[in-house]
Amino acid sequence: MVKDYDRRLQPPSSSFFLFGMRGVGKTTWARRHFSEAHRIDLLKESVYQAYLGDSRLFRRELADLGAGAWVLVDEIQRLPWLLNEIHGLIEERKLRFVLLGSSARKLRRAGVNLLGGRALQRTMSPLLPCELGADFMLDEVLRFGSLPLVWNAPSKAEQLEAYVQLYLKEEIQAEALVRNLPGFARFLPVAALFHGQVLNVEGLARDSGVARTTVQGYLDILEDTLLAFRLRAFEGRLRVKEKRHPKLYWLDSGIARAAKKQLHPPSPEERGSLLEGLVAQLLRAHQALDAALYDELYYWAVGKDSVEVDFLLQRGDRFTAIEVKARERLEPAAFAGLKAIADLPGVTRRILVYLGETSFRHEAGIEVMPFDRFLAELEKGL
């Protein structure tokens, strides 16, 4: 039985875009909250071709709707020029639109302005622990991710494998996002190896067998199709030669693991990057739900020995530093980064998240908390 989980995202009262990767549950959520809306599904080839062949059809189909009526358009990026019509209908007839999309890339490339601020923008993430409730199992999420499409599947592994192939076929090939599909297919598993790691574009290009400039474009595509994001290093007043490369995080661990064809139980070494990646995903998701969580998100590193802290949340002139360890017991070295960052002006909280069961305050003033408690803190806004 397919389970329909309640999502934290609340429906706006005015027109809005809702972006999210394929399979994240945008359509299910929108149909639940806007059941009376007039629906247009551009993923259906017959509907897509009909609008493509007759630019006047869109207005004719909506001619009988009254002011304030809702219109739900799925996969809006397939026909970016419709936004010009939508803009006019919002202004002239006060219609309201729910615009779903898995990529903003084609909208930007088409030169549209996302309705000039007349529509809000929202993002949907994979299922959060608070949305899964009693069904949340950390080991299962680290291994398979939490996309609803996958979570509800009879075989999560088979669904993930199919997802990657569908992504290549429908998101990349069908939308003509790259000229060299085999090159992009080689790039995906190599990029998945960098989940939670500092990017080495030259190494990524070499191992993928494509040019460095091509890899930069491929990374843009991963971000534009909402599969991954790059996290900048906090630079402060560093000189140009001291600037560090960004880290790469995939937005769902299951997709990253499927891309590199490794869906077996994670090794202890892999669990570290997977747990760190999950925290990155949760920080982004909660920021999308509550813009007050932080103004900017970074990672922090200093010195030749690359002492690091996984996440640095900036709110105004204050910072919260978060280190993530996929361990039940902590060695003294686990505190090195959080000790070092104490000298950064404005750091008000230093948190170490781990897989143990006890919360305590380290002698250096660091808050140590189990993953479950961190989730509760995140719900309250840290």
Q: pLDDT by residue (tens digit) across 260-273?
A: 999 999 999 899 99
- Pair 305, 278: CB distance under 8 Å: no
The whole-number average pLDDT for the span 286-303 is: 89
Please tell me the predicted confidence (pLDDT) of residue 241. Answer: 46
Both tokens of residue 343?
Answer: 């000298």
Both tokens of residue 152?
Answer: 């509800």
Is residue 285's pLDDT more than 60? yes
Beta-carbon count within 10 A of 171 CB: 20
Same domain, 222 and 329: no
- Amino acid in the structure at residue 314: Q
Same domain, 220 and 321: no
Q: Which of 333, 324, 191 is nearest to 257 (CA)?
A: 191
Tokens 């706006």 correspond to what residue? 12
Please tell me the predicted confidence (pLDDT) of residue 305. Answer: 64
The residues with which 40 forms a beta bridge, in sequence order, are 73
The residues with which 309 forms a beta bridge, in sequence order, are 300
Q: Confirm whether 6 is domain-assigned.
A: no
Same domain, 306 and 238: no
Both tokens of residue 159?
Answer: 């669904």
Q: Confirm whether 268 is domain-assigned.
A: no
What residues make up the domain containing 26?
A: 16-123
Both tokens of residue 332?
Answer: 């003294």
CATH code for the domain in which residue 296 is found: 3.40.1350.10
Please tell me the predicted confidence (pLDDT) of residue 239. Answer: 46
CATH code for the domain in which residue 186 is found: 1.10.10
3-class DSSP assignment, residue 173: helix
DSSP β-ladder status, 347-354 and 367-370:
parallel
Is residue 292's pLDDT more than 90? no
Burial class (CB in 10 A: 0-12, 13-18, 19+), 307: middle
Please tell me the predicted confidence (pLDDT) of residue 32. Answer: 94
- Amino acid in the structure at residue 299: Y
Domain-terminating residue out of 103, 123, 143 = 123
Both tokens of residue 56?
Answer: 């006047």
- Cβ neighbors of 101 (< 8 A, separation 6 or more) are 17, 18, 19, 75, 76, 77, 107
- More reliable by pLDDT, 243 or 204: 204
E strand or H helix at 96:
strand 96-101
Q: Which of 238, 244, 276, 256 is nearest to 353 (CA)?
A: 276
What is the pLDDT confidence band of residue 240, given thresholds at 50, 70 and 90? Answer: very low
Highest mean pLDDT among 166-175, 252-261, 300-309: 252-261
E strand or H helix at 26:
helix 26-33
40-54, 234-248, 317-331, 341-355: least confident range: 234-248
Q: Within 13 Å and on the Cβ side, how many CA atoms surround 16? A: 16
- Pair 230, 223: CB distance under 8 Å: yes
Please tell me the predicted confidence (pLDDT) of residue 106. Answer: 66
Same domain, 91 and 207: no
Same domain, 90 and 149: no
- Cβ neighbors of 92 (< 8 A, separation 6 or more) are none
* Average model confidence (pLDDT) across the chain: 91
Whole-model pTM?
0.92
Q: Confirm whether 4 is domain-assigned.
A: no
